[in-house]
Structure 1
Amino acid sequence: MTTQHTYRVIVRGTWNGLPDDVRARLLAEVADHGLSQMRFTPDGSLTYDRTLKHFSYRYELLSDAADGPEMAGALAEDRAETALRALGGAWGELRATVTDMDTMKINRKGR
């Protein structure tokens, strides 16, 4: 039996040549994708601002610990690309930052 770890992944990118209809739709929905909407979810949480320059997706994924954070990053980038294609957007290179929540050390202050 393999051990599963929970990974939190942030996939960042830059909008690149958005079609006018997609730009208009994103601007109309900007309030639904601001800082207060940032959440790590299996389906991904898209955030961006009114300038439509940068965006990020936040994912929480379960993956085999043996595959390591690289696999979680690749899975999240693939999910982000799929979501971006469905959105109709154009984007540049994606970059993933991965945190393994099962190995994360928490420093608690003494009382």
Structure 2
Amino acid sequence: MSDRIFRVIVRGVFDGLTPDQRAGLLARAAEHDVLRAAFTPEGHLSYDLTARSAFTFRFQDSGEVEEDILDATERAESAAKAWLTERGYGYKNLRSQAEDLSQAPLGKRQRRAAAQRNG
């Protein structure tokens, strides 16, 4: 049973888009707006080509132990590369950041709720 949730962000920059590719991405921009961004197992892509050529994929994965975050990061990077490559989109400067939610600090409301449960 997996008890750790990992959130992985893969960032990069579109590189060498053709005018048709750019037009296609702009036509689907509403689907990929940052305001609709979510962490999903299959990955959610967001970008704003009118502002800059950067993109972000957000992935959610899980694992048993803390070290599984490395495999989750590798899977996320591979999935992002595959998505881009399958569509013929060039990219550069790919980098990833992962977070184990079991290690994330609790927010004020979460601390208050935990104190009420325990006290």
Structure 1 length-normalised TM = 0.86
1:37, 1:45 within 8 Å by CA — same for their partners in 2? Answer: no
The residue matched to 1:93 in structure 2 has which SS? strand
Distance 1:84 1:3, change over 3 A: same
**Which residue is equivalent to 2:35?**
36
**Structure 2 stretches lacking a partner, 5+ long:** 113-119
Task: Please report the RMSD computed on the Cα atoms of aligned residues, expressed in angstroms.
Answer: 2.1
The residue matched to 1:65 in structure 2 has which SS? coil
Residue 102 (structure 1) shift? 1.7
1:46, 1:57 within 8 Å by CA — same for their partners in 2? Answer: yes
Moved runs in structure 1, 4+ residues, more than 3 A?
Answer: none
**Which residue is equivalent to 1:81?**
81
Bigger shift: 7-16 or 49-58?
49-58
The residue matched to 1:18 in structure 2 has which SS? coil
Q: Distance in 1 between the 2:30 and 2:108 partners?
A: 35
**Which residue is equivalent to 1:60?**
60
Letter in 2 for 1:97: Q
Residue 21 (structure 1) shift? 2.0
Bigger shift: 60-69 or 99-108?
60-69
Larger radius of gyration: 2
The residue matched to 2:9 in structure 1 has which SS? strand
**Structure 1 stretches lacking a partner, 5+ long:** none
Structure 2 length-normalised TM = 0.81
